[in-house]
A and B are shown apart, each in its own frame.
Chain A
Amino acid sequence: MSHLLNVEDLEVKFALRFGDITAIDGISFSLDKGEKLGLVGESGAGKSVTGFSIINLISKPGFISKGRITFEGNEISAYSDSKMRQIRGDRISMIFQDPMMTLNPVFTIGMQMTEVLMAHRKMSKGQARKIALEKLKKVYIPSPEKRLAQYPHELSGGMRQRIIIAISLLTDPAIIIADEPTTALDVTIQAEIMDLLQELCESDNMALILITHDLGVVSQVTEKIAVMYAGKIIEYGPTDQIVKHPVHPYTEGLIKSIPGTVIKPGEDLVQIPGMMPTLTNIPQGCAFNPRCYLKEDICTTATPELKQKNGAMAACHMK
């Protein structure tokens, strides 16, 4: 109960012409103050939809069909749009993947930053500017006064992503949801941004939900991970445990298919045959069964539940 954020049995559907399809199929997880959680999976696993649904950013034809999301003890999944707006971008902020697309190209950085405080905190422009400057310094932007007057196109990708992080910090949120924050950036800049996010979480006791496909990034930054496959969490627990001793065959395959983890250079990588099913035809039973090397009859009939194994939770009949 005392968790900062609690997601229980969340189900998200998209209403399409030929019927509803389930993008998120009954997932549960929790997040404490200052905790860093990684949502990992390949494209189409439902990790971004999970992130969006926490702050109710699911737009039509999508809708939350089941489940409860509680934040600081309040059930925010039942909030009206206007009430949600007081949480979204205030207590819970979001950072998106592409720093080129997130900032509005026709407004200065200063306007885009003060706007947030003027809307959420009813501040004057002068006060807002002061806080904006302070946050820019916090993300190590050189000569912050000058940046406030600049437009996004005058800045590099890494700098823009820092500005976006500064914007998400303006209201001192309790949670930051970062959806692939470094996918569009180069490795050296990725490392800097990840260091920064980690440092900010520790200094401000902020919680982080990091959505990514990159297990390397997740294993360096987060304490807990949830591996998603076809709309379900199939493994959930402490990062160290899962990365070193994965239980679910999918997690295991995912880790072994990264060059340099298990396989020596030049040898064939472990590959998971086939590909992630589309949401319109998810296989019966365990969604991973057509690609699994441990598959037995039960996998094609019964859906496995998450159960305790080696200090983590995994959804697999065979383990």
Chain B
Amino acid sequence: MNTKNTLVSINNIVKHFDISGGMLDQLQFKNFKPQLKKTTVKAVNNVSLEIRKGETLSVVGESGCGKSTLARVVMGLYPPNSGKILYNGARIDNLTHKQMLPFRKKMQMIFQDPYASLNPRKTVQQTLEEPLRFHNPKISNKDIQKKVERVMEQVGVDPLWIKRYPHEFSGGQRQRISIARGLILDPEFIVADEPVSALDVSIQAQILNLLMKAGRERQLTYLFITHDLSVVRHISTRVAVMYLGTLCELAKARDLFDTPQHPYTKALLSAIPVVGENQAKHIKLKGEVPTPVNLPAGCVFHARCVYADDRCTNQVPELRTLDNGTCVACHAVEENQISV
């Protein structure tokens, strides 16, 4: 892959969470002998991705597939169990807080719930000023005011409302303010974790337009986490599909929607309800998503896949690049068993 164009590189990231609790919770008896057993949620398993400069890379998947965990690992909010995160070629996952500061300035995050992500006791002004003062201790009050006003205008919140508190705003406006907070330090890279999922359709369109406009004007790189596939199709350059902590498919947005390769991607795409189409011709999957506590052996999708054979239950498929640049991890695709 062209490393010059890569802004963030995610290499073999593994993130497991220990949920076993205290010693008494871990205590189990095997053949009448007491032993301690740890229970871990295997949220992200060996995921590698390159995020290129200026692109919008979307990560999609159903709840529990590890997409938000991946975003948080990239941002340095969770330390990975193993693997590396490179930002512009520099490793950032093992840095101390102080070493991380210059990177934090360039990487910002926008969260899902604008009701929970803004401090209710801070005015808009305080919320927006804080990152500026923290990262530029010598900045003058005049510069701060100028910057805050400019960013508020950009996101479409009237600078006259600067002294108001979050509860005085609607959900859409709050999300605009949290976007403003993300933009105020002029970052290069923004991780948006379900930024429009909590909003109504008409407001959702406003926020998506705002994000796309900001992206164009500031040449931002987005890592966009969402479960809404119609949103993904609209905004993404490339799309990564995750299932149970594993990357199944990575493709250009158009290729993914026109010619999905992985059986899971196909099922997922067929489930989107489309306005104006009467009958859903959706592919039914067997069973349900297994828990990430006990991952299935082999391909994580095999129990629900119609193409699964012996090989799928034993051997983990590797991500392979096809002719059109799509990467897919599936034995059946590799063996040409699936007609597209």
Enumerate chain A interface residues (CB-CB to B < 8 A). Answer: 42-43, 156, 158-159, 186-192, 194-195, 213-217, 219-220, 240, 243-244, 253-255, 257-261, 263, 265-266, 268-273, 275-276
Contacts and interface: CB of A to CB of B under 8 A. Distances in A.
Contact of B200 (A43, A156, A189): A43
B337 interface: no
B275 A42 contact: no
Interface in B230-253: 230-231, 233-236, 253
Contacts of A187: 62, 227, 229, 268, 271-272
A275 B234 contact: no
Contact of A261 (B203, B235, B275): B275
Contact of B275 (A158, A195, A216): A216
A216 B209 contact: no
A259 B231 contact: yes
Given A156-B288, A187-B271, A188-B267, A261 B201 contact: no
9 contacts: A192-B284, A219-B275, A253-B202, A259-B231, A261-B276, A265-B233, A265-B253, A270-B205, A275-B203
B242 to A, nearest CB: 13
B204 A257 contact: yes
Interface string B6-50: 000000000000000000000000000000000000000000000
B208 interface: yes
Nearest to B64: A186
Contacts of B227: 186-187
Contact of A266 (B200, B235, B274): B235
Interface in B316-338: none
Nearest 10 pairs of A and B residues by beta carbon: A216-B273, A259-B234, A257-B205, A191-B271, A186-B62, A42-B200, A269-B205, A272-B202, A271-B205, A260-B230
Given A195-B282, A214-B273, A275-B170, A254 B209 contact: no
A300 B274 CA distance: 35
Nearest to A188: B271
A215 B201 contact: yes
Contacts of B170: 275
Contacts of A271: 202, 205-206, 209
A278 B174 CA distance: 16
Contacts of B278: 219-220, 240
Given A213-B201, A259-B205, A269-B234, 13 more contacts: A187-B62, A188-B285, A215-B201, A219-B278, A257-B204, A260-B233, A261-B276, A268-B213, A269-B205, A271-B205, A275-B200, A275-B203, A276-B200
A315 B280 CA distance: 31
B272 A268 contact: no
B279 interface: yes
Nearest to B278: A220
B230 A258 contact: yes
Contacts of B234: 259-260, 263, 265-266, 269
B86 interface: no
A293 B316 CA distance: 55
Contacts of B206: 271-273
A190 B172 contact: no
A191 B277 CA distance: 14
Interface residues on B, range: 35 or more
A154 to B, nearest CB: 12
A259 B233 contact: yes
A319 to B, nearest CB: 19
A263 B234 CA distance: 9
Contacts of B231: 259
B63 interface: yes
B271 A266 contact: no
Given A215-B275, A261-B276, A188 B172 contact: no
B212 interface: yes
A214 B275 CA distance: 9
B288 A159 contact: yes
A42 B201 contact: yes
B202 A188 contact: no
B283 to A, nearest CB: 9
Contacts of B276: 219, 243-244, 261
A265 B235 contact: yes
A49 to B, nearest CB: 17
B250 to A, nearest CB: 18
Nearest to A142: B287
Nearest to A184: B63
Contacts of A244: 276
B75 to A, nearest CB: 24
Contact of B202 (A186, A191, A275): A275
B168 to A, nearest CB: 13
Contact of A194 (B270, B273, B277): B273
Contacts of B289: 156
A258 B273 contact: no
Given A270-B205, A271-B209, A259 B230 contact: yes
B204 A190 contact: no
Nearest to A212: B273
Nearest to A219: B275
Nearest to A217: B273
Contacts of B273: 190-191, 194, 214, 216-217, 219-220
A7 B236 CA distance: 45
A261 B204 CA distance: 14
A243 B213 CA distance: 28
A258 B280 contact: no
